[in-house]
A = this chain, B = another copy of it.
Amino acid sequence: MLKYEEIAKELEKNISQNELEQGSKLPVLETLMGQYQASKSTVIKAISLLEKKGLVYQVRGSGIFVRKQKRKGYIRFTNQGFSGELRDDKITAKVIELDIRKPTQEAAESLNIDLDEDVYYVKRVRYINGQTLCLEESYYNKSIVTYLNNEIATNSIFDYISEALGHKIGFSDMYLHVNSLTKVEAEYLGLQEGEPKLFVETIFHLNNAQPFDFSRVTYNYQQSQFFFQSTGYSM
| Chain A residues proximal to chain B, CB less than 8 Å | 1-2, 5, 8-9, 12, 23, 40-41, 44-45, 48-49, 51-54, 57, 59-60, 62, 65, 67, 69-71, 74, 77-79, 109-110, 168-180, 195-198, 203, 205, 207-209, 219, 221, 224-235
Contact = CB atoms under 8 A, between A and B. Distances in A.
A230 B78 contact: yes
A230 B84 CA distance: 15
9 contacts: A5-B235, A8-B235, A168-B234, A170-B234, A174-B229, A175-B225, A178-B221, A196-B221, A198-B198
A5 B232 CA distance: 13
Please classify the interface of chain A as helix (H, G, I), strand (E, B), loop, or mixed, using the class held by over half of its residues: mixed
Contacts of A65: 209
A72 B114 CA distance: 22
Given A52-B233, A178-B198, 7 more contacts: A5-B234, A44-B48, A45-B48, A57-B205, A171-B230, A172-B232, A178-B224
A204 to B, nearest CB: 9
Nearest to A200: B228
Contacts of A207: 59-60, 232, 234
A225 to B, nearest CB: 6
Nearest to A5: B235
Contacts of A231: 52, 79, 171, 231
Chain A to chain B: the 10 pairs with minimum beta-carbon distance, closest first:
A170-B232, A196-B196, A171-B232, A79-B230, A178-B221, A176-B226, A48-B48, A168-B234, A174-B228, A41-B41
Contacts of A233: 49, 52-53, 79
A65 to B, nearest CB: 6
A228 B77 contact: yes
Contact of A59 (B54, B208, B232, B235): B208
A195 B221 CA distance: 13
B179 A196 contact: yes
B229 A23 contact: no
